[in-house]
């Protein structure tokens, strides 16, 4: 004998009214009210936090940019040590790079520190700062590599310096910088006795960047490159 209760089950489900479904939904909301309120509150808190961070970053960038201007003027006038440390009238690059490291200007301060130390012939300190650049701007990334190459060349690591400048050329977004770094890298390869490699790079630079200063420099270097250039086997 068939169980009539089982046969009536689908019919009962079909007869659920909209009001009953609303009651179920209301019961669910009441049951999980605290959790839902907490979740909404968390979303609002996170969104508010992100807005605050964006506003704070904007304020920090404005302040860092202003401070960087004062330090830059000292650096441009050759007062490298003062630019690094600052004095009673302005904040130095060291403090700007530390306090505002998360801002664009703070990252620029890191590279300027490297430039100052290099000008003061403190090569290890300069190299440390160039390598510490962590920004996302490709042209500044390339500038940090170019600074690193200068340091390596001063340390008599000419081939490493040339390879680093090649990386700078490949990293840069600005074609003018690409051309300049590529021709400078070729110059270091010539210095290292790798005339063939340098010649290939200069040919590439002169052809691909003919409308840029780096391309013009490459053509001039090609003309100067002679068979007497020492070439490593």
97 and 164 both lie in a single domain:
no
Is 109 part of a structural domain of the chain?
Answer: yes
109 and 167 both lie in a single domain:
no
Q: Is the pLDDT of residue 82 over 90?
A: yes
- 8-22 per-position pLDDT tens digit: 444 444 445 555 544
Q: Is the pLDDT of residue 204 over 60?
A: yes
Task: Choose between 122 and 7: higher pLDDT.
Answer: 122
70 and 147 both lie in a single domain:
no
pTM of the entire predicted model: 0.70
Q: Which of 88, 120, 152 is the last residue of a domain?
A: 120
Is 180 part of a structural domain of the chain?
Answer: yes
231, 195 contact by CB (below 8 A) = yes
147 and 222 both lie in a single domain:
yes
206, 212 contact by CB (below 8 A) = no
40 and 111 both lie in a single domain:
yes
Query: For residue 158, what pLDDT is reported?
Result: 94
- Domain coverage including residue 177: 136-233
Is 13 part of a structural domain of the chain?
Answer: no
Is 100 part of a structural domain of the chain?
Answer: yes
37 and 114 both lie in a single domain:
yes
Query: For residue 72, what pLDDT is reported?
Result: 85
Q: Which of 65, 93, 120 is the last residue of a domain?
A: 120
112 and 162 both lie in a single domain:
no
Span 148-155, average pLDDT: 93
The highest-confidence range among 1-5, 45-49, 168-172, by mean pLDDT, is 168-172
Span 173-198, average pLDDT: 91
List all residues 6 or more positions away from 144 whose beta carbon is below 8 Å from its beta carbon: 110, 111, 114, 130, 131, 133
Q: Which of 69, 90, 120 is the last residue of a domain?
A: 120
Q: Give me the DSSP letters along 45-90.
A: HHHHHHHHHHHHHHHHHHHHHHHHHHHHHHHHTT-HHHHHHEETTE
Query: For residue 23, what pLDDT is reported?
Result: 53
202 and 148 both lie in a single domain:
yes
107 and 175 both lie in a single domain:
no
CA of residue 163 relative to chain centroid, distance: 20
101 and 153 both lie in a single domain:
no
Share of the chain above pLDDT 90, in %: 39
Q: Give the chain's mean pLDDT.
A: 78
As for how many domains the chain has, the answer is 2
Q: Is the pLDDT of residue 231 over 50?
A: no
- 212-224 per-position pLDDT tens digit: 888 999 998 988 8
175 and 212 both lie in a single domain:
yes
The SS3 assignment for 157 reads coil
Is 8 part of a structural domain of the chain?
Answer: no
92 and 144 both lie in a single domain:
no
Helix axes 213-224, 175-191, angle to 10 degrees: 20
Indicate which CATH number applies to the domain containing 167. Answer: 1.25.40
């Amino acid at each position: 004998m068939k169980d009539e209760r089982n046969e009536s089950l689908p019919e009962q489900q079909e007869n659920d009214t909209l009001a009953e479904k609303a009651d179920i939904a209301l019961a669910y909301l009441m049951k999980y009210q605290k959790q839902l309120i907490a979740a909404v509150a968390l979303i609002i808190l996170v969104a508010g936090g992100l807005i605050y961070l964006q506003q704070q970053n904007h304020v920090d960038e404005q302040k860092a940019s202003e401070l960087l201007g004062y330090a830059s003027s000292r650096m441009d006038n050759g007062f490298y040590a003062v630019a690094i440390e600052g004095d009673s009238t302005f904040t130095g690059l060291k403090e700007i790079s530390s306090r505002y490291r998360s801002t664009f200007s703070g990252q620029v301060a890191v590279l300027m520190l490297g430039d100052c130390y290099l000008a003061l012939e403190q090569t290890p300190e300069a190299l440390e700062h160039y390598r510490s650049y962590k920004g996302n701007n490709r042209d500044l990334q390339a500038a940090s590599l170019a600074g690193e190459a200068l340091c390596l060349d001063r340390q008599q690591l000419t081939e490493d310096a040339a390879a680093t400048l090649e990386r700078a050329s490949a990293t840069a977004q600005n074609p003018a910088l690409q051309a300049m770094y590529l021709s400078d890298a070729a110059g270091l390869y010539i210095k290292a006795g790798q005339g063939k490699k340098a010649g290939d790079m200069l040919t590439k630079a002169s052809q691909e960047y003919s409308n840029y200063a780096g391309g013009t420099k490459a053509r001039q270097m090609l003309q100067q490159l002679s068979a007497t250039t020492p070439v490593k086997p």
